[in-house]
Amino acid sequence: MSVATLVRFDAERLGHAQHTVLAELTLTLHAGERVALLGPSGVGKSTLLAALRRRLAQRAAWCPQEHGLVPPLAVYHNVYMGRLERHSALANLGNLLRPRRDAWREIQILCDALGLDGLLKRPVSRLSGGQRQRVAIARALYQAREVFLGDEPLASVDPHQAERLLAMIQARHATCVIALHQRELALRHFDRVWGLRDGRLVLDAPVHTLTLADLDALYPDASPLTDGSRDGS
């Protein structure tokens, strides 16, 4: 049985204006794949995720690195923003003044599962960094899209919470691409790894062919990788 291709890059350049961030990028995202995106800070993970988001459009839920929350607004309203485009401007204004019962209940269940119980009325500005991270994840999950794209959504939580949050994300999305630095999580919870280094994709392989040493080699203090990407199948 063939697996549907969601996105394909074929020797493409990704960047901003005249600045190349990723050169000669060739990779494919298939439906049902859970991909860990690894590499040092500033190597182009956010650029690749932005390109995936543009191509997937409304098929992808998005959890950005900077959270993208509105600090003065309550947790409820920040999570509700995940579905703003599904309602009219008038309906959204009404919800801002008087939350809809069905939306409140759905968001309450979601936030309770994320350890945010009792916080729906609290302004995001009064939350800790880890709580804000979970609100951003809740908003992405509330979008209820086919694919989950996350730019280090587990960066501000402890290892135990990271495991729980990742399980929740993957229970709701058969396909995901998540940038992270926790290499052990990549080996335990993902099907495939894309590794970036020095402006190029240098690793594209199924997890069962990889070791922790392979992933450690993506980072600057490790010895250089050989030319070309490792492409396993």
Extents of the domains making up the chain: 5-65+73-231
Query: What pLDDT, on a 0 to 100 scale, did the predictor assign at position 228?
Result: 42
Q: Is the pLDDT of residue 28 over 70?
A: yes
Query: What pLDDT, on a 0 to 100 scale, did the predictor assign at position 222?
Result: 56
Q: Is the pLDDT of residue 189 over 70?
A: yes
Q: Is the pLDDT of residue 1 over 90?
A: no
Cβ contacts of 189 within 8 Å, gap of 6 or more: 34, 36, 163, 166, 167, 170
The two three-digit tokens of residue 109, written as one number: 């269940």
**91 vs 14, which has greater pLDDT?**
14
pTM, entire model: 0.88
Q: In percent, how much of the chain has pLDDT > 70?
A: 94
The two three-digit tokens of residue 220, written as one number: 């600057």
Q: Which tens digits make up the pLDDT trace of 117-167?
A: 999 999 999 999 889 999 999 999 999 999 999 999 998 788 888 999 999
Residue range 5-65+73-231, CATH number: 3.40.50.300
Q: CA of 184: how far to CAs of 32, 104, 189, in Å? A: 21, 36, 9
Query: What pLDDT, on a 0 to 100 scale, did the predictor assign at position 67?
Result: 83
Question: Mean pLDDT highest for which of 57-61, 62-66, 84-88, 91-95?
Answer: 57-61
